[in-house]
A and B are shown apart, each in its own frame.
Chain A
Amino acid sequence: MDTIPKLLLHNARHLGRKAAMREKEYGIWQTYTWADVYENVKALALGLAVLGFQRGDKLAIIGDNRPQLYWGILAAQSLGGIPVPLYQDSIAREVQYVIHHSEAKFVLAEDQEQVDKILSLREGLPHLEKLIYDDPRGMRHYKDPILISVAQVQELGREFDRKNPNYFDEQVEQTQPQDIAIIAYTSGTTGFPKGAMLSHSNVLSVCDLTLQVDRFRPQDELMAYLPIAWVGDFFFSVAMAHKVGCAINIPEEPETVQRDLREIGPHFIVAPPRIWENLLAAIQVRMEDADWVKRRVYHLAMKVAQAVEARRGQGKGIPIWLRLLYQLGDFLAYGPIRDHMGLRRIRFAYTGGAAIGPEVISFFRSLGINLKQVYGATEASALVTVQRDGEVRADTVGRPLPGVEVRISDAGEVLVKSPGVFQGYFKNPEATAEALEDGWLHTGDAGFFTPDGQLVIVDRLKDVTRLADGTTFAPQWIENKLKFSPYIKEAVALGPDRPFVAALINIDGQTVGKWAEKNGVAYTSYMDLSQKPEVGQLVYREVERVNRELPPETRIRRFLILHKELDPDDEEITRTRKVRRRFIAQKYASLIEALYSDTSQVEVTATITYEDGRQAQVKSTVPIFDVREAVEAPARR
């Protein structure tokens, strides 16, 4: 069982009646057993074969998480083809680039929205032969001959299966561990996406190594809710689920994840820091809205929890009175909160993809949720390091998986040697040569090891930088501290070759909006809200708080609140919400210059790109805030 399709065959035979996938539809969780999934993948794969899909062909897949799209991944692999998942909210230009570059002849799209997107790109997609869609809604009058529904393809497949009953299993048996299991296009912070090729052997060996650290069990429930184009979703929802035989649960709609999560009560969940931050902000806001009894209980209980967690972290014993208080707190607060978030059954949870604020991770851990940091890269089949139970600390990302070697280059870059290290970028030998040297993967991240062997990631190597006077600082570190505030959604710290650190700040429309309502601040739009003097004061206090935690040389001296949200559609951040510094430096050059001059406000004209590609202009005046030297800060020379 050295390929994912072989695992599917195995699970269908041995776990045939066990749930493999659930999808909430029509308000009810619809279950597919491993046998159901096998039958569906078989029908889809054979249908693809009838349509001319051959070994080595690529199947581009675009849409939200849907069983049919996961079947598409397996169907392509079963025939020795390669799935190429795309981010469902990609704008047309990105979609065209990836489909064209990957030479995909077949595209599997979720619904009308995606079909329209692809049909509009027809001219630029000369390889495209068939466009397969799942949800036929709204497309009754579409006559384009390249269109065919999943149901129709499966019907072709079943017909073929009746005549050639062994064909599919034979195809699956022919799959080899060195076959490419996926081309994962990375959303890169610079330039065009690159297609990282991962083999079955790459991904499944990393599964094996992960299982030596954390037990996934067949009876576990996983949530499949993160973009299918993200390598982490492929690793857990496809590879790990097939390896272990556990079930994945697919939410009804992206908007319903929170409620669906609670209904499932998964045993494991992986989420980027942003989601943990949002959860935390939601709880904080809710508690501030609660009546005073609940608020008191919550605050007292959290004090107890944090005291316990601090002692645990330092390996100290916990006195009996504190244990008793913790039990009480669990009954009154932590238990109900865990239940409310749908994390009651969590055995362990991962956060990765970006740095997480120490306050965020300690919050969840003190509630009794085993949240651990992981570090990984698409090019290393998702996981490189995982924090071990009992070794979770806020500032590290844990130790390498067993069998994975990590070393730090002279330049301070994290290098990885692992059975998961990829087969190169598709059709991009130059980039491959840059990333791979003697089997070592250059991650582009700057980091170091603590004396006890835990890895610390500082920032992207190219982003670690110096102020004009030579002081080193890592912008992301400051940004993460800012982003821990429930009122700040995104932040960009500036400073390379400048006399001091300054920041561009994005308020969180939801929490600040709620705050404004509560404090009687009237506003119309996000833009209006962001420029209210009261909101300015609110953010000012948050910046002061962050400054207290920073060394005096890298404190934020000046900042401004951006009039619009940083948006992947405007290419300001990536789809995985990483700040694109170079792009921002260009786009907001006038704002940045103003921050480093002595003006107290600046005029802006912003160009906004809508999803359909139209552009609009917005004008406004943005004030600049000077941050006083924090009084509480101890003077240091």
Chain B
Amino acid sequence: MEGTALLQVQDVWLAFGGVQALRGVSLEARKGEILAIVGPNGAGKTTLINAICGHYHPQRGRILFKGQDITRWRPHRIAALGIARTFQNLALFRGMTVLDNIMLGRHVRMRSNALACALYWGPAQREEIRHREVVERIIDFLEIEHIRKMPAGALPYGLQKRVELGRALALEPELLLLDEPMAGMNLEEKEDMARFILDVQEEMGIGIVLIEHDMGVVMDISDRVIVLDLGEKICEGKPEEVANDPRAIKAYLGEAVSPRRG
């Protein structure tokens, strides 16, 4: 599924003091495509996502979204432009309901000011109802109707991950960054999540950048794979190409081990 370049990362360098986290990483994410970023721990995968979202600002290089340079932008402006993400460790408001958590994802799309919202009258009320409709469609899409009114913190881990995906979708993003959406899940939860990610891609046609350790999942659902190691992109290609690439195998298994296929 060839699409136009949605996100372009061009030769990005990022260091924390003496630690060089990203060394000249370049990549392209396309509309309607699932791009997986894999690599051993500390390879710089999450740093890269944080750089795209504007949490970190790279020392060198450029990040373009829909052709616009967003390298130095603040995170909320980037979000408003259409990039949403989920977090490796859950970042939900545990005491708030699932509905409110997802509604919060609509925040950057809301126009009413605090006073109008407090009075909840006229345009503010109509706006809330309109946003609620969007949120309800997401709830339906993710099949979480039964937990709509439950506090997020009381839910099993797998469902919390799904709620987090819901909150990211509420932003109506054009690019979705998923940081290990299946970490810590059991097989059934993983299969569910993989299906939802594919459904998002198919139904909403947005671009997805996915960081994931489970190679089975990566091989199954991604269109393209990029391997990072020690802050450098070491190879890129279709899943089956990357799986057989000696550089990728070396990064994962180390030098002494003979390459295995499977």
Binding site for B on A (CB under 8 A): 25-28, 137-138, 140-141, 252-253, 255-256
Q: How far apart are the CA atoms of A26 and B139 in the complex, in Å?
A: 7
Q: How far apart are the CA atoms of A26 and B145 in the complex, in Å?
A: 8
The answer to whether A137 and B145 have CB atoms under 8 Å apart is no
Binding site for A on B (CB under 8 A): 132-133, 136-137, 139-141, 143, 145-146, 148, 195, 198-199, 202-203
When distances are taken between beta carbons in the complex, the residues of chain A under 8 Å from B146 are 252-253, 255-256
The answer to whether A137 and B203 have CB atoms under 8 Å apart is yes
When distances are taken between beta carbons in the complex, the residues of chain B under 8 Å from A27 are 132, 136, 139, 145, 148
Instruction: Name the residue on B nearest A141 (C-beta).
Output: B202
When distances are taken between beta carbons in the complex, the residues of chain A under 8 Å from B136 are 26-28
Instruction: Name the residue on A nearest B140 (C-beta).
Output: A26
Main secondary structure on chain B at its contact with chain A? helix
The verdict on A26 contacting B137 (CB below 8 Å), with A138-B195, A252-B145, A255-B146 known, is yes
Pull 11 A–B residue pairs with CB atoms less than 8 Å apart, ordered by A. A25-B140, A26-B137, A26-B139, A27-B145, A27-B148, A138-B195, A138-B198, A138-B202, A140-B202, A141-B202, A252-B146
The answer to whether B199 and A138 have CB atoms under 8 Å apart is yes
Q: How far apart are the CA atoms of A140 and B143 in the complex, in Å?
A: 18
Contact partner, B145, options A138, A140, A141, A255, Cβ 8 Å: A255
Instruction: Name the residue on A nearest B199 (C-beta).
Output: A138
Minimum CB–CB distance for B203 against chain A, Å: 7
Minimum CB–CB distance for A346 against chain B, Å: 23
Minimum CB–CB distance for B165 against chain A, Å: 16
Q: How far apart are the CA atoms of A252 and B148 in the complex, in Å?
A: 12
Minimum CB–CB distance for A465 against chain B, Å: 41
Minimum CB–CB distance for B191 against chain A, Å: 11
Instruction: Name the residue on A nearest B205 (C-beta).
Output: A140
Q: State the 4 A-B residue pairs at the shortest beta-carbon distance, nearest first.
A: A255-B146, A26-B136, A27-B136, A252-B145
The verdict on A253 contacting B143 (CB below 8 Å), with A137-B203, A140-B203 known, is yes
When distances are taken between beta carbons in the complex, the residues of chain A under 8 Å from B132 are 27
Minimum CB–CB distance for B133 against chain A, Å: 7
Contact partner, A256, options B141, B145, B195, B198, Cβ 8 Å: B145
For the complex with contacts A26-B133, A253-B145, 8 further pairs of A-B residues with Cβ separation under 8 Å are: A26-B136, A26-B139, A27-B148, A137-B141, A137-B199, A137-B203, A252-B145, A252-B146
When distances are taken between beta carbons in the complex, the residues of chain A under 8 Å from B137 are 26
Minimum CB–CB distance for B205 against chain A, Å: 10
When distances are taken between beta carbons in the complex, the residues of chain A under 8 Å from B198 are 138
When distances are taken between beta carbons in the complex, the residues of chain B under 8 Å from A141 are 202
When distances are taken between beta carbons in the complex, the residues of chain A under 8 Å from B199 are 137-138
Q: Which of A28, A138, A141 has the most CB of B within 10 A?
A: A138
When distances are taken between beta carbons in the complex, the residues of chain B under 8 Å from A140 are 202-203
When distances are taken between beta carbons in the complex, the residues of chain A under 8 Å from B133 are 26
Q: Which of A26, A253, A255 has the most CB of B within 10 A?
A: A26
Minimum CB–CB distance for A567 against chain B, Å: 16
